Amino acid sequence: VALGSNLGDPQATVQAALVALERLPRSTLAAASSLYLSAPVGLHNQPDFINAVAVLDTQLGAEALLEELFAIEARFGRKRAYLNSPRTLDLDLLLFGDETRRTVQLTLPHPRMHERAFVLLPLVEIASETVIPGHGPAAALLDRVRDQALTRLEPVRAS
């Protein structure tokens, strides 16, 4: 799961969202990356983002997990005013095992994750052997996004 925020107190929001992920039913937060500061990709006139990636072990199905992620976003005040609008919290389901699918509701793997340093670097930090179906090892994709500057902030400690 990718986490991102660029409104309010983004660092506190991402840390609180990790706690919310930890409390998901039939799920365990297996790992959480450091926090990263990143400029919005392809967007102008927006504050920088705080990003992280979390690994969940879950018994929920992909759609049920996605619904839980949307519910967490809503609790944090997420509004979807327009495409790529600033957000209090964004939670993206990146991968669900090695599953691939494309439905109206869900695309797996996340369609742009292989193009985003703010996803790949934290993902490789906590799950270095991850393979993105259709794209290859996440670590091998880092070279393609090296022009996207990230600043590592601190290790996340969910409680």
57 annotated active-site: no
The residue type of 65 is L
Q: Is 35 exposed, middle or buried (0-12, 13-18, 19+ CB in 10 A)?
A: buried
- 125 near 34, Cβ under 8 Å? yes
Q: Name the 3-class secondary structure at 12.
A: helix
Residue in 9, 23, 26, 92 annotated catalytic:
92
CA distance 106 to 34: 26
Residue in 80, 87, 146, 152 annotated catalytic:
87
- 98 near 108, Cβ under 8 Å? no
Residue in 9, 57, 78, 98 annotated catalytic:
78
87 annotated active-site: yes
48 annotated active-site: no
92 annotated active-site: yes
Residue in 9, 26, 48, 90 annotated catalytic:
90
Locus of tokens 């109206």? 104
Active site residues: 78, 87, 90, 92
